[in-house]
Structure 1
Amino acid sequence: MAVEQTLIVVKPDGFRRSLTGRILARFEEKGFSIKNLRHYNFTKDKAQEFYSVHKEKPFFNDLVSFISSGPVVACILEGNNAVSTTRLMIGVTKSFEAAPGTIRGDFGLGFTDNIIHASDSPESFIKESRVIFG
């Protein structure tokens, strides 16, 4: 098992619904360590940088608009196989298709408003965490 770091972001819908503590607790219970934690407000420019990989996709503007619509909580997690394990724990992007027991399956309401973001690779973690943690 490889010890890795990854980024999660509790999105504005999760923050508004006061789910941040419950979500972070799941990762701690799994055995991840919280290495950095930040309450953050995305500007439009930072949101565009964060989601730049999706720039040519039709939902890009919706992503930017939603992630910058309110406060988020960003967290760097560390643990065994952090990237792949975290992705399994959060569930598929469309919350209505996510399995019960996953974060999105239990709390998410839609496609953009799906409670949480998690880096999908070690390379994405580096890029995305630099946007938020500088």
Structure 2
Amino acid sequence: MLQTPDRVLAEHYHDLQTKPLYPALISYRTSGPVVAMVWEGPNVVCSLRTVIGHTDSAETAPAPSGGSADSVEGAPRDSQLWFQSSELVHGADENHQSSIYAA
């Protein structure tokens, strides 16, 4: 659990900085602490989407979480943004390549 630094939010939401929703999004995300996680495992994206919902609102029902990597490919960038490598603990099976960040 952490209070998100402004620089992390600016980088995490860099694609949205020109959108009208950006100021409200940043205000909301800085209004309290977040729980940041990295999940790993087979079919983790599908499993996580069941818990927090899709990043595309047209594909999901309302979800309790505020954000996540939008793909397996985007997860390493987001993981490095939010965590130092020494903070990550890998599961017993490190051969799988699926991981996703959520905050």
TM-score range, shorter chain: 0.5 to 0.7
| Unaligned segments of structure 2, at least 5 residues | 85-103
Residue 76 of structure 1 aligns to a residue whose secondary structure is strand
Q: Distance in 1 between matches of 2:20 and 2:73?
A: 23
Distance in 2, matches of 1:91 and 1:122, equals 15
| Structure (1 or 2) with the greater strand fraction | 1
Displacement after TM superposition at 1:92 (Å) = 4.5
Q: How far is 1:133 from its partner?
A: 0.2
Structure 1, gaps ≥5 residues long? 1-38, 109-114
Q: TM-score, normalization: structure 1?
A: 0.51
Which of 60, 83, 98 aligns to 2:61? It is 98
Give the alignment's Cα RMSD to 1 decimal. 2.2
What are the Cα deviations for residues 84-132 of structure 1, in whole angstroms up to 9, with x where unaligned?
33123322466xx716xxxx1xxx4xxxxxx342221123211211121
What is the number of equivalent residue pairs in this alignment? 81
Do residues 59 (structure 1) and 21 (structure 2) align?
yes
1:117 partner letter: G
Normalising to structure 2: TM-score of the pair?
0.63
Q: Percent identity?
A: 32
- Whichever structure has more helix as a proportion of its residues is 1
CA distance in 1, matches of 2:74, 2:48: 13
